[in-house]
Amino acid sequence: MVAIVDRCHSCGTKRRSMEERFCHKCGAGLPEAPPEMAPPPADGIAWSRAVPIINNRYLWIRWGWAALYFGAGFAVLLGTPLVVLYAEGNGGAGFAIKLFLVLGLVGAAVVIGAALFAAVSVGNRLMMAFVLSPVSAAARTSGKELEGVESAALLFAPGSRDARNSAQAAALLLPPEGEAKWKDVRRVQFDAPRCVITLRRRWRHPLRLYVVPGRWTEAEAFVREHASPAAVAGKRT
């Protein structure tokens, strides 16, 4: 069984002892405790990685869709009654279009601003654990890691309840997490340069596996073995 914290999350080097605080190869900090999730079975693999947030292109795509949907809903919710009340005296249809556009942009800006604040509050990094088993792939954030970012939360006193809530909000808002059973995976995408494996499911958000560089070959081989051949080939099933 491969322990979640037995390797460096930056380079994949195996740590010499659990008391070791920094990687003896690259100098990166080593996690003190595993994220709160069950270890993999004997025939599975697991690892942890500090996932980037602000400079993560996959999360920007997610923020973009969230901003689009929230902005449109915000515009309809607030714009409709205002148009009914003021459109006739303020240019009719032209005023209505401008009003919906402005409200939509404001709503989108709220989503992006909240996401950026949450990212900064955890130092642009969030420790996540990933487990691959013969049945499914899973990703989780670490509760213990969230306890450690209290002092990094901006605008709040270190150690305060508000700081802790800010960190937890970042964990919920930013990194995708969950579980995908191999039988439900419809398409697999491999991004070797960024060490990211995307598992796409029907009618659900994709699950992204952020792999440490030193374990990319192992994780890729495991996914290719357990996902359907059509999904691995990139064909929609």
Average pLDDT, the chain: 69
In terms of average pLDDT, the best of 26-40, 86-100, 148-162, 165-179 is: 86-100
Tens digits of residue pLDDT in 44-60: 788 878 777 776 776 66
Is 113 exposed, middle or buried (CB count within 10 Å of its CB: 0-12, 13-18, 19+)? exposed
Mean pLDDT, residues 137-145 = 64
Residue 91 has pLDDT above 70, yes or no: no
Residue percentage of the chain with pLDDT more than 90: 5
| Cα separation values, 186 from 105, 177, 203, 229, Å | 34, 18, 10, 10
pLDDT band with cut points at 50, 70 and 90 for residue 190 = very high
| Domain spans, the chain | 59-120
In terms of average pLDDT, the best of 51-60, 89-98, 194-203, 217-226 is: 217-226
pLDDT band with cut points at 50, 70 and 90 for residue 65 = low
pTM of the model: 0.56
* HEC letters along the chain: CCCCCCECCCCCCECCCCCCCECCCCCCECCCCCCCCCCCCCCCEEEEEEEECCCCHHHHHHHHHHHHHHHHHHHHHHHHHHHHHHCCCCCCHHHHHHHHHHHHHHHHHHHHHHHHHHHHHCCCEEEEEEEECCCEEEEEECHHHHHCCHHHCCCCCCCCHHHHHHHHHHHHHCCCCEEEEHHHEEEEEEECCCCEEEEEECCEEEEEEECCHHHHHHHHHHHHHHCCHHHHCCCCC
In terms of average pLDDT, the best of 6-20, 131-145, 180-194 is: 180-194
